[in-house]
Amino acid sequence: MFPILYESPGFVLYTQTVFLTIAFIVGILIATHEARQFNLSTFELSRVGLSGFLGGIVGARLLFLLILGRSSVLTLQELCTLGELDGGFSFHGGLLFGGLAGWAAAHYYRLPAWRVGDALAPGLAISLFFMRLGCLFNGCDYGVPTTAFWGITLHGDSRHPIQLYEGIGSLLLLPVLLKLNRKSCKSGTTLLWYLLLSGLLRVGVDLFRDDPARIWYLTIPQYLALGIACVAGILLWSRR
């Protein structure tokens, strides 16, 4: 597609980097707005969000390279490369590392971690929309060939735009999460619903993913998403 947005001697601006930046800015604006629902400090929540974002970038890149089986070259330069062929992130790696970094930051600033998660959940949903747009322009995480009229030409074939499937699906979760935050729900409810629904969304979307490395018909990201959804579902049921 259009992996490089601007290039000059000694400088390359990748489209995916731009969309990652937009994802963070929009996500943190939504999160700070939601923080007011729970009387949380917007400044400290922004610092928690930044910690989670930076941790998520490292985790997302790390797990992406591990899934590719390239653990022998996990240098700092490799982690930061966002080129056309090597660029890529694993959402679940970002979710895990970002979640751990955000949880640690929330405890450091003495904020209620579950409520912080509720405030961040709508921002995560809309952030994923922009991140998947970045994947689309980068030409990664593409779908199987299709004859459907909405197919997008990528790598020589008309393919399912699974980046848009997941991005739009995540965007549709936003009003649901915002509504949950305005109800008198137990802390952590909105976050857990996001993890459950986004996990199921990923499982469904990846049915159309062009990934031959499947184990019992499912990809590694599908198993990760299914595991997250199951854990979130169990916690929702046990915390009723």
Nearest to residue 126, comparing CAs of 213, 38, 24? 24
Query: What is the reported pLDDT for 70?
Result: 56
State the amino acid at position 169 in one-letter form.
G
CB 95 within 8 A of CB 62: no
CB 219 within 8 A of CB 206: yes
Distance CA 41, CA 31 (A): 11
Query: What is the reported pLDDT for 66?
Result: 73
* Weakly modelled stretches of the chain, pLDDT under 70: 67-89
Tell me, yes or no, if the pTM score tops 0.75.
Answer: yes
Nearest to residue 30, comparing CAs of 169, 131, 178, 167? 178
pLDDT in tens, 40-97: 999 999 999 989 888 888 887 777 777 666 554 555 555 555 443 455 667 777 788 8
